[in-house]
Amino acid sequence: MRDLYDSQRAMRNMRKAAMQRGVVAILDIGTSKIACLVLRFDGTEDFKNADGIGSLAGQSQFRVIGAATTRSRGVRFGEVDAMQETERAIRTAVQAAQKMANVRVDHVIACLSGARPSSYGLEGAIDIDGGTVSDSDIGRVMAACDVPDYGTDREVLHAQPINFALDHRSGMLDPRGQVGNKLTTDMHMLTVDRVALQNLYFCVKRCDLELAGLASSAYVSGISSLVEDEQELGSACIDLGGGSTGISIFMRKHMIYADAVRMGGDHVTSDISMGLQVPMATAERIKTFYGGVMATGMDDREMIEIGGDTGDWEHDRRTVSRAELIGIMRPRVEEILEEVRLRLDAAGFEHLPSQQIVLTGGASQIPGLDGLAAKILGQQVRLGRPLRVQGLPQAATGPAFSGAVGLTLFAAHPQDEWWDFEIPAETYPARSLKRAVRWFKDNW
């Protein structure tokens, strides 16, 4: 865990350097599209509603000065699959965004949606012997968390303290300066596949960019599309992406669970492609123009030209009714939502005080999806759009950009992670000296 701490700290330093330069790029590497936003920071400024332990990584006001989207290549299930292709796609997006911003960006904060995220709840406790809780105590209690064996092929993406408890008082946001005997903390740790992370890292590196931060796409979508009371009272954000569907559960403004289903809008498209025997591009077009999940009587009469260029008149003049299209799409969407339901159940979502579910992401634009989701996930379902961010072009305000927008918020106002706190004090020689002195006092 030590080298992870160092590498994440290095990334934080990179982020600080980017803040100093005032320009940082946001890269949302998705399965269907790659979005790049260029942010300009106008100097650090405190957010008014900064609860909890204040942000240690620094917070800032920002403005989007460049935005570009390109069709994603070489990404499957939210993971880099063909590195050359992905690199080209990243280059395209970054170049266009740089051109719009007319500024060179060197630092990139990226998010990834796949890589099989898995959540862990950790607990740590230390004795503070009736003293006041200091910064180093918080670092210590986080280091004292017993980390499960998550496997050597996994990497920690997020490790956020979500709760502090001092003796029997729980639910503290900031225990610093308070007196107690025993400090305990709950930490949420998210691990992902190391290989996927490394591939992403190399892809960014090969574009002459420096990675200044990494985030889970499910997490940042939640930041951008959940409103404040939803984040406070408990809600789940379902980010229906192209290749994977991210699930993040928020409670008391902290992410307490994240997961991903390796299915998304691209699978719906491929179903259409297979069912109607059309190429993927046509299937995608048909899906976006005529797609839906709730069939009505009207849909039986609405015929869709499928088209084709085989030269066979019969084949090229095929039509299909919209009801048939819905009949192809609905089982897959249902399957995705069922899978999401399973994950939510596994996470114990039903125990939360509020069970709001917010659907966002590109695939959430299927007409009638909220009705279908209400049947599967529960009544409190709404479609979410990302928060409005200053300078964001109109084209990038749709639900497909909730990940990118969330990443801008994450870049400007990152939540405290374990590596933002100082190294556990046990390694300091001063501490051991103090201990020796105490031992002498106790024994003589």
Partner 1 sequence: MRALIAKRKSTTRDPAPSKWRYRLQRWMLTPTFVATLRLGIPLALIAIIVTTFFSDPDNRAMISDTLAEAKTSLQHRPEFMVHQLKVEGATPQIEEQVRRVVQVAFPISSFNLDLESLKTNVSSLNTVSQAVVKVGEDSNLVVVVTPREPVAIWRDGSVLNLLDTEGVFSGALETRADRPDLPLIAGEGAFASIQEALRLFERAEPLGPRVRGLVRIGERRWDLVLDRDQRIQLPSDDPSAALDRIIVLNAAHKLLERDVAVVDMRNAARPTVRLTTEAANALRRVSERRVDQ
Q: Give DSSP secondary structure letters for 345-379.
A: HHHTGGGSS--EEEEESGGGGSTTHHHHHHHHH-S
* 103 is a contact residue toward partner 1 (CB under 8 A): yes
Question: Of the ranges 100-108, 120-128, 174-182, 184-192, which one interacts with partner 1 (CB under 8 A)?
Answer: 100-108
Residue 423 tokens, joined: 């190294």
Residue whose CB is less far from partner 1, 86 or 224: 86
Query: In the bound complex, what is the minimum distance in angstroms from residue 125's beta carbon to partner 1?
Result: 49
Distance of alpha carbon 94 from alpha carbon 35, whole angstroms? 8
* 99 is a contact residue toward partner 1 (CB under 8 A): yes
**Per-residue binder mask for partner 1 (CB under 8 A), 276-295, x = binder:** -----x--------------
Sequence-ordered strand ranges (E) for 19-73: 23-29, 33-44, 60-71
* 108 is a contact residue toward partner 1 (CB under 8 A): no
Among 94, 212, 256, 352, binds partner 1 (CB under 8 A): 94
Cβ 170 vs Cβ 163: under 8 Å? yes
Among 15, 40, 91, 107, binds partner 1 (CB under 8 A): 91
Distance of alpha carbon 99 from alpha carbon 117, whole angstroms? 34
Distance of alpha carbon 139 from alpha carbon 175, whole angstroms? 12
DSSP, collapsed to helix, strand or coil, labels residue 183 as strand
DSSP, collapsed to helix, strand or coil, labels residue 384 as coil
Nearest to 348 by CA among 262, 240, 236, 222: 236
**What torsion, rounded to 10 degrees, do the Cα atoms 73, 74, 78, 81 define?**
-170
Residue whose CB is less far from partner 1, 59 or 282: 282
Residue whose CB is less far from partner 1, 106 or 127: 106
Cβ 98 vs Cβ 66: under 8 Å? yes
Question: Of the ranges 95-103, 169-177, 365-373, 409-417, which one interacts with partner 1 (CB under 8 A)?
Answer: 95-103
Query: In the bound complex, what is the minimum distance in angstroms from residue 394's beta carbon to partner 1?
Result: 23
* 207 is a contact residue toward partner 1 (CB under 8 A): yes
Query: In the bound complex, what is the minimum distance in angstroms from residue 95's beta carbon to partner 1?
Result: 5
Query: In the bound complex, what is the minimum distance in angstroms from residue 135's beta carbon to partner 1?
Result: 39
Residue whose CB is less far from partner 1, 50 or 281: 281
Nearest to 37 by CA among 113, 89, 96, 87: 96
Query: In the bound complex, what is the minimum distance in angstroms from residue 88's beta carbon to partner 1?
Result: 4
Residue 434 tokens, joined: 């103090």
Among 92, 134, 380, 397, binds partner 1 (CB under 8 A): 92
**Per-residue binder mask for partner 1 (CB under 8 A), 23-62, x = binder:** ----------------------------------------
Q: Give DSSP secondary structure letters for 269-292.
A: HHHHHHHHT--HHHHHHHHHHH--
Residue whose CB is less far from partner 1, 282 or 415: 282
Among 57, 80, 89, 320, binds partner 1 (CB under 8 A): 89
Cβ 102 vs Cβ 429: under 8 Å? no
* 95 is a contact residue toward partner 1 (CB under 8 A): yes
* 100 is a contact residue toward partner 1 (CB under 8 A): no
Question: Of the ranges 102-110, 214-222, 246-254, 311-319, which one interacts with partner 1 (CB under 8 A)?
Answer: 102-110
Among 69, 98, 282, 360, binds partner 1 (CB under 8 A): 98
**Per-residue binder mask for partner 1 (CB under 8 A), 160-199, x = binder:** ----------------------------------------
Sequence-ordered strand ranges (E) for 138-199: 154-166, 169-172, 182-193
**Other C-beta atoms lying within 10 Å of the C-beta of residue 419:** 23
Cβ 117 vs Cβ 192: under 8 Å? yes
Query: In the bound complex, what is the minimum distance in angstroms from residue 165's beta carbon to partner 1?
Result: 49
Neighbour-count burial of 3, counting CB atoms closer than 10 A to its CB (0-12 exposed, 13-18 middle, 19+ buried):
exposed
Cβ 5 vs Cβ 427: under 8 Å? no
**Per-residue binder mask for partner 1 (CB under 8 A), 65-84, x = binder:** -----xx-x--------x--
Among 6, 51, 208, 229, binds partner 1 (CB under 8 A): 208
Q: Give DSSP secondary structure letters for 144-158.
A: TS------TTEEEEE
Among 102, 310, 379, 394, binds partner 1 (CB under 8 A): 102
Distance of alpha carbon 262 from alpha carbon 158, whole angstroms? 20
Residues forming the site for partner 1 (CB under 8 A): 70-71, 73, 82, 88-89, 91-92, 94-95, 98-99, 102-104, 207-208, 281
